Amino acid sequence: MSEFVNPLSYDPQDWYSIFCRLDHDNDGLIPVEVVRSAVLQNAALLGLLKHEAESILRDVDSNFDTYVDFSEFSAMMAKAKSLYVKRLTIYAARSVLAKSQQPSAVQYLSHYNCFPPPLFMFMISLIQVAIYLYYALESDVGISPVGPVPIKSPFILDPNHKEQIWRFLTYMFIHIGYTHILSNVVVQILLGIPLELVHKLWRVAGVYLLGVVTGSLLVMAIDPNVYLGGASGGVYALLSAHLSNVIINWDEMEFNWVRAIIIMIVVTIDCGSALYQRYFVETFNRVSYVSHIGGFIGGLLLGVVLLRNLKLRRWEVYAWWFCLVAYIMLVSVCTVIIYAPGLYAK
C-alpha cells in the first residue's frame, strides 16, 4: 500500500505519520534511497511530475549523512505541496488567458507567492450566501427560487433612500431567491478565482466592486423606482472583462466557442431571471435588470484599466486612456442625473 497521498490532503503535522511508516526501525532516520524510491514510485499520488519529484529529492539530504530525519522530510513535503499548488495555479490561470499571454503568465506565476491569497471571491460569496440564508430563514417565504425580498434591509438599494450612499455597494449582499444567488456565486467563483491568480486580489476586487457600483448608479439614473439586490453588476463586470479578452484574442484563445457559448448561457439565464422579476412579479417585489447592463459596461472598461496586461501593445495604451475617461464620464453622468436638483425623477 502506498505511503503517500496528495500533499494537499495533509497538514504538516500529518507528515509525521507518513515519516513513521517509512521509518521501519523507528530510529528517527530513513535512508535516502528509501525516501527516493518511495517518492519516485508515488510521484503521481503526490501530485508531482517526474522532474518535480527529482527536484525535491535533490536536496533532501541537507547534511549529507545519507539519512533523512523528520525536519528534512518535512522540508521535502513542503516543497512537494508548493510545487503542486503552483502547478494548479498555472493551470487555473491558463483557463482565462490567450495562448500568447500564457508564457508571460507562467513566468509570473512561477514566482507566485500566494500573497494575497485568491480568497476575495470566495469570501464575498460566503458572506452573500450567509446573508441570503439569514433573510430567507427569517421571512415567511423561506428559501424560495424568487424570494424573499428584504426591502427593509440596510443593504438593499432603496429608491427612497438614495442619500444612503453605502447602499450603492452593499446591495450586492442581497439576493432575490436561491436561483439568483446560485447563478452569481457559481460564476464569480469559477471565473473570479482564476482571474485573481493572474491579476492579484486588488485588481479583480476593483473590477468586481466598481462593477457593482456602476450597476447601481445606472439603475438609479435610468430605472430609479425599483429596489435593487444582487451581485449581478459585479458578476457581469467579471464576465465582460473576460469576454473582451476572449474576443480580442479569439484565434489564440483555447476553446473560444465553448467560452462564448457558456457566457451566453449564463447571461441568458441570469438576464431572463432578472427580466421576469422586473416585469412579471408583483410591484412590491420588482428588481431592476439595468445593473446587469451597468456591470457589463463597467467590466469592459475597467478590465482594460485595472487588470494586469501581460503583453502590452502600443494601441492598448490608447485603449487604456479611452476606457478610463469613458468610465469616469459614465459615472459622472449617472451621478449628476441622480443627485442634481431637478434631474432626478422619482
* Domain shared by 84 and 152, yes or no: no
In the chain, DSSP finds a helix count (H) and a strand count (E) of 13, 2
Condensed to tens digits (0 to 9), the pLDDT of residues 216-251 reads 999 999 888 888 888 889 999 998 887 777 666 666
User: What whole-number distance in Å separates Cα of residue 294 and Cα of residue 330?
Assistant: 9
* Domain shared by 230 and 132, yes or no: yes
pLDDT band at 3 (very low <50, low <70, confident <90, very high): low
Lowest-confidence pick of 97-106, 160-169, 326-335 = 97-106
Identify the CATH number of the domain in which residue 161 sits.
1.20.1540.10
Q: Which of 96, 129, 152 is the last residue of a domain?
A: 96
* Domain shared by 235 and 327, yes or no: yes
Residue 192 lies in a domain: yes
Identify the CATH number of the domain in which residue 45 sits.
1.10.238.10
User: What whole-number distance in Å separates Cα of residue 60 and Cα of residue 77?
Assistant: 10
pLDDT at 283: 46
| Of 56, 49, 38, residue with least CA distance to 1 | 38
Per the structure block, which three cell numbers stand in for 160? Answer: 427612497
* Domain shared by 160 and 54, yes or no: no
Q: Which of 96, 131, 160 is the last residue of a domain?
A: 96
User: What whole-number distance in Å separates Cα of residue 119 and Cα of residue 337?
Assistant: 36
* Domain shared by 150 and 88, yes or no: no
Residue 230 lies in a domain: yes
Residue 103 lies in a domain: no
Active-site residue, 292 included: yes
Neighbours of 341 (CB within 10 A): 5
pLDDT at 40: 86
Per the structure block, which three cell numbers stand in for 208? Answer: 468586481
52, 83 in Cβ contact below 8 A? yes
pLDDT above 90: residue 75: no
Among 140-144, 208-212, 291-295, top mean pLDDT goes to: 208-212
pLDDT above 60: residue 107: no
User: What whole-number distance in Å separates Cα of residue 57 and Cα of residue 16?
Assistant: 18
Residue 113 lies in a domain: no
pTM summary value = 0.68
Per the structure block, which three cell numbers stand in for 182? Answer: 446560485
Expressed in angstroms, the distance from the first to the final Cα of the chain is: 72
* Domain shared by 154 and 91, yes or no: no
| Of 298, 296, 176, residue with least CA distance to 227 | 176
Residue of 175, 199, 242, 292 with catalytic role: 292
Lowest-confidence pick of 32-41, 94-103, 162-171, 209-218 = 94-103
Domain extent for 62: 12-96
Residue 34 lies in a domain: yes
User: What whole-number distance in Å separates Cα of residue 172 and Cα of residue 41?
Assistant: 49
One-letter amino acid of 332: S
Condensed to tens digits (0 to 9), the pLDDT of residues 178-194 reads 888 988 898 899 888 88
Q: SS3 for 287? A: strand
* Domain shared by 137 and 38, yes or no: no
| Of 164, 154, 277, residue with least CA distance to 220 | 164
Please give the average per-residue pLDDT across 160-178, as a whole number.
Answer: 91
Q: 227 pairs with which residues across the strands?
A: 287
Please give the average per-residue pLDDT across 302-313, as a whole number.
Answer: 74
**Averaged pLDDT of the chain:** 78
Torsion angle (degrees, nearest 10) of CA 16, 17, 21, 23: 20
pLDDT at 12: 58
* Domain shared by 235 and 290, yes or no: yes
Residue 63 lies in a domain: yes
Q: SS3 for 145? A: coil
* Domain shared by 229 and 333, yes or no: yes
Residue 7 lies in a domain: no
* Domain shared by 195 and 320, yes or no: yes
* Domain shared by 87 and 166, yes or no: no
* Domain shared by 21 and 141, yes or no: no
Residue of 125, 216, 232, 240 with catalytic role: 232
Q: How many domains does the chain have?
A: 2
Active-site residue, 232 included: yes
